[in-house]
Amino acid sequence: MTTHTLAAALDLVSHELDDLVDGVAEGDQAAADRALDLLDGAERVFVHGAGRSGLALRMTAMRLMHLGLDVHVVGEVTTPAIESGDVLLTASGSGTTGSIVQAARTAVDVGAQVVAVSTTASSPLAELAEVTLVLPAATKTDRSGTASVQYAGSLFEQGVVLLGDALFHALWQRSGHSADDLWPRHANLE
């Protein structure tokens, strides 16, 4: 398929995302339920990812805050120390990103739990995680075109956004709150 036009490129991205969503939906539902339970029961949620994955997780952090969770983005100057009872939500395609693995190790050492989003269930990050949600996508160094023909992990990063919105939506439905209940938490200093 040629992707020299915007329409063709959108079609390619859409097909890859459809395949990714199908792969997640057919994946480990017990892990997905466990991730929802951990986030729902957390004292506080910390999110941590590098690069575009980190940007995608910041979107999830905002939605979880709208839901009323106490959420912090790792690396921000106002982020407190993680403690027992907290959850660290991470994203790393390879599961080997040094700063993310170290943060997960710190979280586990203090008694917090880790939810990892990755392309693999077998990595240093997955070993530390209470649950790993696997997105069937390419890592940023996979240029084979097998899992995705998009550049440098784009499908994984898009998947992180979709998964984050799906986690939020499932938690929102569990909460029983209306959109009007959440609206007062929406930013008003824009």
> Per the structure block, which two tokens stand in for 42?
């957390």
Residue 185: closest CA among 10, 145, 175, 117: 175
- The Cα–Cα gap between 156 and 122 comes to 16
Active site residue 76: no
Q: What is the dihedral angle through the alpha carbons of 66, 67, 69, 75, rounded to the nearest 10 degrees? A: -40
Contacts for 142-151 with beta carbons within 8 Å, 24 or more apart? 147/119, 148/16, 149/12, 149/16, 150/12, 150/13, 150/16
Which is the catalytic residue, given 26, 127, 130, 157? 157
Bridge partner residues of 134 (DSSP): 118
Cα–Cα distance for residue pair 81/110, rounded to 1 Å: 10
Residues classed as catalytic? 157
